């Protein structure tokens, strides 16, 4: 199986290492920043690196020829419809929530903010609508009392993402297709970026 991996930072590198351990051919790595640690890991392994023309979009010409599957790992760029068509099986990504709950960039923060007792992760098919593609794999975990978003990510959700991605990759290799279960829109919620009020509070009295 030939994969184009788009991503960044630590989770991008961990996904890169997991894919190589699972015997797939990483044909190209796509990054928004050419100095990112994922780009460095790819160059060290003699794998071609493409820097996106736009940090917010991944276009068809940035996908390696003959790609079977696009995998995103900590990528904040939207993979265009034509780019998805350039891969035989389209694309998948990992979202740290039980989709369709908490669609958006701050899924873990909203999990904590809303006091959810249960969190989870989802491997989903990339689609036009953010985090709305069919589910390929999903798993849940408990949230510890007083746990921060970073603690939850590092303890449970990042390892879960790698585990689920490996399961889906192994399934695709064995069956030549990807699992797909449509999300139930009636349970969809949004998780936009949380902007803290940085303005100083005026003293009363």
What does the pLDDT profile of the chain (205 residues) look like in tens digits? 999 999 999 999 999 999 999 999 999 999 999 999 999 999 999 999 999 999 999 999 999 999 999 999 999 999 999 999 999 999 999 999 999 999 999 999 999 999 999 999 999 999 989 999 999 999 999 999 999 999 999 999 999 999 999 999 999 999 999 999 999 999 999 999 988 654 444 333 3
Dihedral-angle region of residue 23 (phi above 0 means left; psi in -120 to 50 means alpha; beta otherwise) = left
Largest CA distance in the chain: 70
User: What's residue 197's pLDDT?
Assistant: 52
- Residues 94-192, CATH architecture: 3-Layer(aba) Sandwich (3.40)
Cα 68 from Cα 62, distance rounded (Å) = 14
User: What's residue 195's pLDDT?
Assistant: 83
> Domain spans of the chain?
1-88, 94-192
- Residues 1-88, CATH architecture: 3-Layer(aba) Sandwich (3.40)
Asked if the domains at 1-88 and 94-192 fall in one CATH topology, the answer is yes
Tokens of 153: 């990510």
User: What's residue 203's pLDDT?
Assistant: 38
Question: Shortest CA distance to 62 belongs to which of 6, 9, 14, 13?
Answer: 6
Q: Decide: 112 and 89 in contact? Cβ < 8 Å.
A: no
pTM here is: 0.93
């Amino acid at each position: 199986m030939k994969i184009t991996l788009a991503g960044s930072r630590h989770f991008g590198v961990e996904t890169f290492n997991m894919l190589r351990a699972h015997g797939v051919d990483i044909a190209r790595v796509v990054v928004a920043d050419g100095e990112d640690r994922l780009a460095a890991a790819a160059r060290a392994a003699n794998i071609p690196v493409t820097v996106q023309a736009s940090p917010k979009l991944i276009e068809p010409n940035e996908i390696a020829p003959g790609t079977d599957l696009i995998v995103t790992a900590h990528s904040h760029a939207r993979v265009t419809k034509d780019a998805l068509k350039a891969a035989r099986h389209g694309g998948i990504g990992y979202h740290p929530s039980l989709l369709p709950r908490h669609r958006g960039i701050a899924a873990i923060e909203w999990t904590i903010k809303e006091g959810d007792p249960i969190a989870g992760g989802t491997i989903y098919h990339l689609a036009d609508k953010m985090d709305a593609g069919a589910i390929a794999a999903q798993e849940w975990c408990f949230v510890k009392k007083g746990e921060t978003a970073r603690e939850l990510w590092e303890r449970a959700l990042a390892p879960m993402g790698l585990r689920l991605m490996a399961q889906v990759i192994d399934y695709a290799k064995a069956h030549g297709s990807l699992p797909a279960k449509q999300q139930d829109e009636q349970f969809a919620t949004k998780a936009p970026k949380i902007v803290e009020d940085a303005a100083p509070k005026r003293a009363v009295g």
